Structure 1
Amino acid sequence: MGLIAALPDIDKYDNSVFVMHEASEKLIPFHKHTKGQLSYVEGGIAYITIDNRTYVVPARHFFWIPQGLEHILQIGHSATVLRSLYFYAHDDFSNSFFNRLGIYPASELLIQMIKYTEIWDERHVTSMDENFEFLIALKKILPETHKQPLPIILPATQNKQMMRIVNYLENTIEEKHSLTSISKKFGLSERSLSRLFKTDMDISFLQYLKTLRIIKAIELLLNTNKSINEIADEVGYSSISSFSDTFREFTRSRPTDLRKVDVKTHK
């Protein structure tokens, strides 16, 4: 049973944990559930879209989606395994962690605990099941061990002028763009372009460009065998150190760390 087929079953029992481990490459359209969702991304990349914002989840990271939050989930690589636990929500008031969307680097302890739950794959687990306390403990440690979500968020736009600008940036990401060069390209003053990004997408031009470059870099790191130098150049960085520092700002790891993780996962 795939995740799409399983969606109607997730909320079947209020006090259960529904377990789903799936290797796939697919788009799961807008949906929501009355349970909170913990999903660990293994060996690839995932994208979550909520309210015209796309969140990027690299390999060896997990995301938490609170109950009732409508979202789109896309798996971006055929080798990706998505290990998901849909938790009862009756105690979500106990910590603000459970009431907000977040993406976090997964600790080694959490990774091993999530992998252990494969024994319950495609099942609802309740207090009647042996070792249900293990799942209770797993949920309880989340707020204590994972406090800082990653800021890899790319806003979308319905503004036709902005759509032309962001499409151009995406298609020419390897070029050395600046507020000045893009303003001239689209016949705007720097002030007008800066205001357009801020008012339409609530992000600065520079932050949008940096985020777009890092997302593209993550995709290349996980989906190609290109060298770090080649990837830095392809996303518009002439300095490998500048690329590495910006990558660390967004992901709290170096590009080489993500590449090592991906190799390890696929062994």
Structure 2
Amino acid sequence: MIPFYENRVGDLLIFREDGLDFLPHLHAQLELLYVEEGEIEITVNGCTHLMKRGGLCVLFPNSVHSYHTPPQERMNCIIVILNLALVGDFINTLLKFHPKNPFINRENLHKDVPYAIDTLCEEYTHVGNQPVCTPICKAYIQIIISRLLQQVELVTNTDVNYFDIIFDIINYINENYMQPISLNDMSRALGVGKYHLSRVFSDKMNVSFSDYINGIRVSWARNMLLNTNKNITQIAYDCGFQSIRTFNRAFSKVYFVSPRDFRKSQEAASIYPKK
């Protein structure tokens, strides 16, 4: 998946994901991640937790969050992303507060929530490739939010100004990652001090500038390795890397394998699928 500041069209998005790696990002919707199998490392506003089977992470609007599936880990999850138009009377709570601890382990999660999420996933349908949110979906959403708000301690939002800065950072990088860019370049383009930007990365996004931009480039490179016939050198330069050596090092840091070996393993998997 490609990290970005998500401005989604449509009120509801539900999908199952087999393995998940997503750099720090934020969006204006409520997001829920429910782990069906395995475990996943989730970071929310700088706090990291290893979420295991049966656990749920609740992400209020404008929470900076990222996902990482441990190497060799088989992980399946359901992700629900919904517009605040669907939350009814809960909207003020979701905008003014955030959970002190957004991670709810299996043993602490109300039994209504997994059932409602599974039923919501089944009810969610597509007509002409357009997501449809039925009245039943809306009803289950209300049940889920109501139960979750009973289980989390809420604290008042205090870092509202950071949300706009993070949006500008992520938007700038996604528009310019294919060319050489530095913290100085971004500082001049956004009119924000370089050291202030650096603190936003370290304190709010929990990642360095170089690791974030390389992560963006690697995400796009992975997508091109899977879906195009371009050679690896061309992919590296198309994604903004200045040398094959840098590309190989950045890709291996994220996926623990070289781009060439990654492509070979995916080609082999398509020829000899797992039974």
Q: TM-score range by the shorter chain?
A: 0.3 to 0.5
- Normalised to the residue count of structure 1, the TM-score between the two structures is 0.47
